[in-house]
Amino acid sequence: MVPLPLLASSLWIPAGSSAADLHVGGMDYPTIAQAVSAADSGDRILIDPGTYYESNIVVDGMILTLEGAPGVEVHRTGPRGSVLWISGGASVTLSELQLDGDGLHQGIHLQDAALVATDVSIRSTNAQADGGALYARDASVTLTGGTLSSNEAVDGGDLRAELSTVVIAGTTLEGASASGAASISIEDGALTLEGATLQDATSGEGLVTALRTLVWIDDTRFEDNHTTSSLLSIDSSSGVSVLGSAFTGNEVDGDLLSVLSSAPVEVAQTLLCGGGHAQTLVLTDSVALLRNNIVMNTSPLQHGVVALGGRVDVQHSHFVSGSAPEGGSTAVHLGGGTLSIVRSFIGWQDNATEGAVWGVSSGTTLRDTLFHQIVPSDTSGSVSLINTSAGDPGFPRPPEGSCDPWYVIPPPGSLLDTIGYGAFAGPDPFPTSEGPLDEDGDGHAGPDDCDDTDPTVFPGAPELPCDGRDNDCDPLTPEATADLDGDGAGCDIDCDDTDPSVFPTAGERCNRRDDDCDGAIDEDPVEGSHQLVDLDGDGFTSPSGPLTCEAIPQVGLDCDDDEPSTFPGAPEVRDDGVDQDCDGTDLQTRLGGGLGLACSATGASAPGLGILSALGILSALVRRRART
């Protein structure tokens, strides 16, 4: 059972006591911790702009308001811990504060307490365990506005909650990281995200994990996150609602949204677009209603909507410009329960195998649905078709990479408009826009902007040198050129215009680069080792060939490759002044002063050896004469 949030009114305030204002930063209290220690329940602490270094701020068992102002920063000093600790049944209201963990500390630790925070920013936290910006247990948390940025933890870089009720409204959560859930991890509680943005997070698992938790998500954006598991993984026995939200540009190794719920599930008026993921939406043993959603420019590695048991009803939805190598880019029914797609539009689906919709068993139904340009087929497997047809929706395939629903709004009088199919039809249609979005923020929106994913491309933009793009959206304008590195070669012919040593006529060097821009690396260098060749045909080579960047062995080489009688192991001719066998010496014979012969195996004379030999002979003659 999820506990009710702790109410501030449940705390006892002594009769006759009156709330007081305590000032921090002026004459009253130099630190926030000192003001908290001096406060009574019900007091308000007013904090002047400035940077505060606090050793330990603890609020225990009382009602307290901490009211900051623009420019208030709070840091923790001392050993690793929390910037703010709230416990013991306390109820704390925070406003206009910035808590900084300095990459070492947790932001807020909340246990058996209630927190209401408005326009509070928590950044650069690093919890040794769970909950980087905020850890809550047996607690009630309400965050309105503010930001949670660059927070890190083992699980729940922004928030870890247990047995708690969490409401996050209008808050931006960005850049979180964790080995578990990057941003939010919650168990046995209730989670509400309303008007929030979760972006640029990285995780060893998912972005948001909710276990045995009631989940309500409304008007919330999930953008450019990178996770190795499902982006949102929800296991709920209380219910799941995802309304009016958007999932764009997320790179996910797992599923974009995975739900296991024995209670009703609703996903409505929601955009699922771009990025990469295994499967778009997986519903396991769930009773789910998916209505007025747009799924566009998705490329799941496996499938789109996947129904595993339960009952999944898809109504009034767009499935536009998708692909899946395993087929089923729109939807797959993998057995058990039912999957029905009604009054929807399925267009431009590229599937390597199977159809855009396929089922492995009975219970898969397509009714009152329009198809357009499906490859290779509309359906495969066990799918029942009732009143389905093919036809032009009245709008072209949306630009690759775009997540602007404006591109897929049926024009008045189109077939979809006439028959009332798709996301913009029905009693509660996907909201329309009067014009396209400016997706890249360059002040121009498609179709006038020929690439609304690149802010350097728009009508009238300056042509950037050699970027290969039509920057000004005018194909008649020639591309600009420039010599960015000053080597005399423009970027139109210079293969690396950031390196002045690289240009088309440069000498090739042994550096594993294409110095002369001919597409080859380290060929015909101007430096290096000479290649081995056999110029005299004696079967032995010498380093006399063209230069190469390859290592050349310097043993067993021909020491004179112009003379075929000279090579390693050749017969040595005595006293000819030539080293035929390439051992570095010439065999010589010479006379030793008429006293005998001295043979030298060196290329130079050996006077010491000749003198010793002569002395030996002379000594022998003297001994012979002495005996006679």
Digit-coded pLDDT (tens) for 408-461: 999 999 999 999 999 999 999 999 877 777 777 888 877 777 787 888 888 888
Task: Tell me how far apart the alpha carbons of residues 350 and 286 are, in angstroms, rounded to a whole number.
Answer: 28
Per mean pLDDT, which range of 5-19, 38-52, 303-317, 461-475 is the poorest? Answer: 5-19
In a domain? residue 472: yes
**Domain extent for 466:** 438-480
Res. 594: pLDDT tops 70: no
Residues linked to residue 193 through DSSP beta bridges, in sequence order: 168, 217
Is pLDDT at 75 greater than 90 in this prediction? yes
User: Which one is predicted more confidently, 88 or 474?
Assistant: 88
The sheet with strand 177-178 has its strands ordered as: 152-153, 177-178, 202-203, 226-227, 251-252
Per-residue pLDDT band at 244 (split at 50, 70, 90): very high
Q: Which helix (H) or strand (E) holds 406?
A: none
Q: How far apart are CA 332 and CA 343, in angstroms?
A: 17
The arithmetic mean of pLDDT across residues 481-510, rounded, is 83
Q: Are 270 and 290 in contact (CB under 8 A)?
A: no
Q: Is residue 21 part of a domain?
A: no
Query: Could you tell me if residue 470 is inside a domain?
Result: yes
Round the average pLDDT of the chain to a whole number and report it.
Answer: 86
CB 184 within 8 A of CB 153: no
SS3 assignment, position 191? strand
pLDDT band at residue 17 using 50, 70 and 90 as cut-offs:
low
Q: How confident is the model at residue 275 (pLDDT cuts 50, 70, 90)?
A: confident
More confident residue, 26 or 193: 193
Q: Using 50, 70 and 90 to split pLDDT, how confident is the model at 359? A: confident
Phi-psi region of 252 (alpha: psi -120 to 50; beta: other; left: phi over 0): beta
Identify the pLDDT of residue 447. 73
pLDDT score at 277:
86
C-alpha closest to that of 321 among 400, 389, 222:
400
- pLDDT surpassing 90 at residue 614: no
> Is 571's pLDDT higher than 50?
yes
Q: What are the residues whose beta carbons fall under 8 Å from the beta carbon of 14, sequence distance 6 or more?
A: 41
Residue 9 in this model has a pLDDT that exceeds 70: no
Predicted confidence (pLDDT) at residue 67 exceeds the cutoff of 80? yes
Tokens 């002044």 sit on residue: 577
Q: How many domains does the chain have?
A: 1
Q: How far apart are CA 435 and CA 457, in angstroms?
A: 19
Point out the least confidently predicted range of 52-56, 84-88, 169-173, 492-496: 492-496
Where is average pLDDT lowest: 177-181, 253-257, 553-557?
A: 553-557
Residue at 146 is within a domain: no
Please report whether residue 532 resides in a domain: no
CA-wise closest residue to 280 among 293, 292, 269: 293
- Is the pLDDT assigned to residue 379 strictly greater than 90? no
Asked if the structure places residue 26 within a domain, the reply is no
- The pLDDT tens digits for 127-137 are 989 999 999 99
Mean pLDDT, range 468-495, rounded to an integer: 77
The answer to whether residue 428 sits within a structural domain is no
Amino acid at 291: R
What pLDDT score does 58 carry?
Answer: 98
Tokens of 154: 């083992």
**Residue of 381 and 142 predicted with greater confidence:** 142
The tokens for 452 are: 């609304």
Q: pLDDT at position 578, please? A: 83
Q: Is the pLDDT of residue 100 over 70?
A: yes
Rounded distance between C-alpha atoms, residue 116 and residue 133, angstroms: 15
Q: Taking the model in full, what pTM does it have? A: 0.73
Number of neighbours of residue 128 by Cβ within 10 angstroms: 12
Q: Are 156 and 183 in contact (CB under 8 A)?
A: yes
- 300 — pLDDT class (breaks 50, 70, 90): confident
pLDDT, residue 151, reads 97
- C-alpha neighbours within 13 Å on the C-beta side of residue 623: 6
The answer on pLDDT for 15 being more than 60 is: no
Residues in the chain: 628
| Six-digit token string for 187 | 């168990």
The pLDDT assigned to 288 comes to 96
The alpha-helical segments, DSSP class H, found in 446-574 are none
Residue 456 belongs to some domain of the structure = yes
Which one has a higher pLDDT value, 469 or 216? 216
